[in-house]
Amino acid sequence: MKNLKQTINEIVNETEIFDIHTHLFPAEFKKYHLSGISEVLNYHYLIAELFTTTNINIKKFYRLTNEEKSNIIWEELFRKRTPLSEACKGVLTILSQLSIDYISKSFDEINNEYSKLNLTDLQIFKISKITKVVMTNNPFDKSEWQLFNNKKWDTKKYLASLRLDDIFTNLDKCLDICKKNIDHFDNENDLIIKYLEKVYLESKPVYAALSLNNLQLKSFLKNRFVPDIFKWLERKNIPLSLLLGVKRQVNREFLLAGDGIDKVDLNNLSEICNQYPNNKILCSCLSLNDQHELTVLARKHQNLKIFGFWWFMNQPSLIKLILNLRIELLGLNFIPQHSDARVTDQLIYKWFHFKVLLSNVLYDHYKEIQLKNFKISENQISDDVSKLFYKNTQNFLNLS
């Protein structure tokens, strides 16, 4: 092998990625597909930063057009101030990766230059080496669900997942929607399962997902729908993905930018894994406080797989720390990252940033075993990275 560091960098940059959690939609579904620098600047991570950095009037801001909002974000966070936060650096990564010279330029100038690139989502997938992304699909959102009325998009690239939060936060609405779609049912449990079966056939999801705060997690096993949902997931052979520790609307005025962190009791996660040993559980926790316990739980339950650095955890300093911990406790038996991208262009920065961190962490671990006379080969590194970026996901989702 040439130089270890260079070999790892090359392999990490060339390995295909299966992005297990995004909020992306195919370009053909125009109403929901987001791309371009204006959308990148309108990311809710940046909006929260703008609100707390300036005294801008929040209601007035939200009434502006997207381009007006991006203009303000560019001026306030990138020109009047030094763009040092992770979300700001992400924008700089995208611009520099696309060779757009942004120094001393206004938003309009950058936007013009960016639009001329006419970047397609397939080009972006290629830049980031992404083969598949899993979307977040809410079967209780009629407008969004229209995606599945006409599948003239690449269903091998954009895989579906069923987001079931509404059953736990807005049951009446869900039951109404189920009743409009299902004619014959015995009781409400039967109704929900029949509706899930219908949307399953329409979308072919690779997993079902739920985000829960502590209270919801605590009462989860007592929920009257949960046993049947687990039975149904087992029949379908798809995992349940649990996104734990979000506290929705800590600041309501901020809208989508207003969610925060909750403290969760992971004993409840362990109990879920024990009570449903035949179901597969994917899990990501939002708070740093939960990462150690979550990693230990992934050593204790065969049906539990950790994935990604979710949202507030997606900060380089935390990733470095916890990625090391995960390798120390789990070897390579986890899914290290997902992008959570809402705008296709964000794939560029989310994955670029992570690849740099992963390469450095892997280098330290390989170096250490080399010092203990282990002969690590290029092929073995390729296999390892492919597990992390692709195969662990593919296997856990039972895909071929």
Task: Name the residues that contact Zn ion, by CB under 5 A.
Answer: 340
Residue 12, helix vs strand vs coil? helix
Residue with Cβ nearer Zn ion (8 or 135): 135
* Contact positions with ligand RAT (CB under 6 A) in 308-327: 311
How many whole angstroms separate alpha carbon 160 and alpha carbon 154? 11
What residue is closest to Zn ion based on CB?
A: 340
Binding-site string for ligand RAT from residue 37 to residue 76, where x marks contact by CB under 6 A and - marks none: ----------------------------------------
Query: Pick from ligand RAT, Zn ion, none: which does 363 bind, CB < 5 to 8 A by kind?
Result: none
Residue 213 in contact with ligand RAT, rule: CB under 6 A: no
> Smallest distance, Å, CB 126 to ligand RAT?
24
How many whole angstroms separate alpha carbon 366 and alpha carbon 378? 11
Sole residue written with tokens 């269903």: 155
> Smallest distance, Å, CB 314 to ligand RAT?
8
Residue 211 in contact with ligand RAT, rule: CB under 6 A: yes
Applying CB under 6 A, the site for ligand RAT has a residue count of 7
How many whole angstroms separate alpha carbon 110 and alpha carbon 383? 40
Query: Pick from Zn ion, ligand RAT, none: which does 220 bind, CB < 5 to 8 A by kind?
Result: none
Alpha-carbon dihedral 247, 252, 256, 261, rounded to 10 degrees: -20
φ/ψ of residue 26, rounded to 5: -65, 150
- In the chain, what is the greatest distance between 2 CA atoms, to the nearest angstrom? 67
> Smallest distance, Å, CB 267 to ligand RAT?
23
Residue 243 in contact with ligand RAT, rule: CB under 6 A: yes
How many whole angstroms separate alpha carbon 294 and alpha carbon 304? 10
> Smallest distance, Å, CB 246 to ligand RAT?
6
Residue 178 in contact with ligand RAT, rule: CB under 6 A: no
Residue with Cβ nearer Zn ion (102 or 309): 309
Residue 83, helix vs strand vs coil? coil
Query: Pick from ligand RAT, Zn ion, none: which does 61 bind, CB < 5 to 8 A by kind?
Result: none
- Produce one character per residue of 346-368: b if its CB has 16 or more CB atoms within 10 Å, e if not: bbbbbbbbbbebbbebbbebbee
Instruction: Report the residue from 262, 290, 340, 384 that binds ligand RAT according to the rule CB under 6 A.
Output: 340
Residue 137 in contact with ligand RAT, rule: CB under 6 A: no
Query: Pick from ligand RAT, Zn ion, none: which does 211 bind, CB < 5 to 8 A by kind?
Result: ligand RAT
Residue with Cβ nearer Zn ion (340 or 345): 340
Could you give the residue ranges of the DSSP H alpha helices within 129-225? 142-145, 165-169, 171-181, 188-203, 214-219
How many whole angstroms separate alpha carbon 190 and alpha carbon 196? 10
How many whole angstroms separate alpha carbon 305 and alpha carbon 177? 32
Residues that bind ligand RAT (CB under 6 A): 23, 136, 211, 243, 311, 340, 342
